[in-house]
């Protein structure tokens, strides 16, 4: 297992993390999985054996049951095993039992610590943007938690670029706890994060943890043009994420995935994970599994090395459209672009050149 530095913090985390979204299976989360305490224990054992040192959860997963199961499984284990949790989504029916207000953050963190059976959360994420709460109030609440020793690091998840910069700017101005990491959706199915969020991570020194790097199973090879998906898949079970905006591109991408997987005699899922680990700014991938066999296969992605030619084939087939102002910069500003700019513009230029060569 490779260990990577999390942003500008001094913390090193495994390139593959394990997520507990499949634990419990309560309410809407039943579509993701129904992993019980015995299965969860076995999966965590496997992860630890393979060098995983970070485990991800959230108070929203199965109404808090995922936190409870993870806490019980980690009880008594090494303190080198790190835990992330999150705050933002409703935890009750009251008007203040959601959001990023000081009131909700302080209460929610205490509730998460109780469910986890821990004295602190290693990395505490703001799970989603809250446009009604001033960022200063949110940051002051995180500062309070850190001063109390209840959290050690803070992060943001599912923020837009301008929202992230607003928070980072306020943290620097007011000398409050600043996020060290983003947790975001990024995969071969949808590379939207390359427009703003990954360049922001390179420019600002943020770590990046990727949730659902297999696009909730869409990149496993189960979903192919002209074939029926398995009945136990998340899409069939009613799980709505991620949104698929270009089905043709998805099918084309999966075909290339399968071809490269055959070249390595491995699964398409393993190739998709290895591709994501190759990309700039990525610190780690959060794996979620319902079966032991899935977990073992995904963990093997840490040792899979793709050739530059294979990476480019995947880059080209899944390339995002260059929206404005990026298409303009691609044509007129390429001589003065930074490493952050090149997260998007580098693959875009290669893709454009490849298309022009074929003409």
Q: What are the residue numbers of the active site?
A: 61
Backbone angles phi, psi at 137, to 5 degrees: -65, -45
Cα distances (Å, whole numbers) of residue 239 to 28, 30, 57:
8, 9, 18
b/e per residue, 24-56, with b = 16+ CB within 10 A? bbeeebebbbebeeebbeebbebbbebebbbbb
Read off the tokens for 322.
Answer: 């260059």
Q: Is 328 exposed, middle or buried (0-12, 13-18, 19+ CB in 10 A)?
A: exposed
- What is the signed CA dihedral for 325, 329, 330, 331, rounded to 10 degrees? 110
What is the C-alpha separation between 168 and 153, in angstroms, rounded? Answer: 14
Which letter does DSSP use for residue 206 in this model?
-
């Amino acid at each position: 297992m490779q260990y990577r530095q999390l942003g500008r913090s001094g913390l090193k985390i495994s390139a593959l993390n394990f997520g507990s979204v499949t634990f419990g299976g309560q309410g809407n989360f039943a579509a993701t999985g129904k992993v019980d305490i015995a299965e969860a224990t076995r999966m965590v054992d496997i992860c630890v054996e393979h060098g995983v040192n970070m485990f991800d959860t959230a108070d929203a997963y199965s109404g808090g049951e995922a936190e409870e199961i993870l806490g019980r499984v980690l009880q008594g284990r090494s303190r080198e095993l790190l835990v992330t949790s999150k705050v933002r989504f409703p935890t009750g029916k009251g008007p203040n039992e959601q959001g990023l207000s000081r009131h909700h953050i302080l209460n929610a963190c205490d509730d998460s610590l109780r469910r986890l059976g821990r004295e602190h959360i290693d990395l505490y994420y703001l799970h989603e943007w809250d446009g009604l709460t001033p960022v200063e109030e949110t940051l002051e609440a995180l500062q309070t938690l850190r001063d109390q020793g209840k959290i050690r690091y803070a992060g943001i998840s599912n923020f837009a670029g301008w929202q992230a910069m607003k928070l980072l700017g306020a943290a620097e101005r007011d000398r409050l706890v600043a996020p060290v990491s983003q947790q975001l959706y990024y995969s071969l199915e949808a590379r939207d994060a390359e427009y703003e969020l990954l360049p922001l991570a390179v420019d600002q020194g943020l770590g990046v943890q990727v949730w659902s790097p297999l696009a909730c199973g869409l990149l496993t090879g189960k979903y192919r043009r002209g074939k029926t998906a398995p009945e136990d898949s998340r899409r069939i079970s009613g799980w709505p994420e991620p949104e698929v905006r270009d089905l043709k591109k998805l099918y084309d991408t999966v075909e290339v995935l399968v071809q490269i997987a055959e070249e390595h005699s491995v699964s398409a899922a393993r190739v998709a994970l290895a591709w994501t680990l190759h990309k700039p700014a990525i610190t780690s991938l959060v794996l979620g599994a319902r079966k032991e066999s899935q977990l073992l296969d995904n963990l093997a992605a840490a040792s899979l090395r793709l050739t530059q030619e294979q990476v480019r084939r995947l880059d080209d087939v899944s390339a995002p459209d260059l929206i404005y102002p990026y298409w303009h910069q691609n044509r007129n500003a390429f001589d003065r672009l930074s490493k952050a700019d090149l997260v998007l513009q580098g693959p875009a230029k290669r893709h454009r050149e490849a298309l022009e060569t074929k003409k």
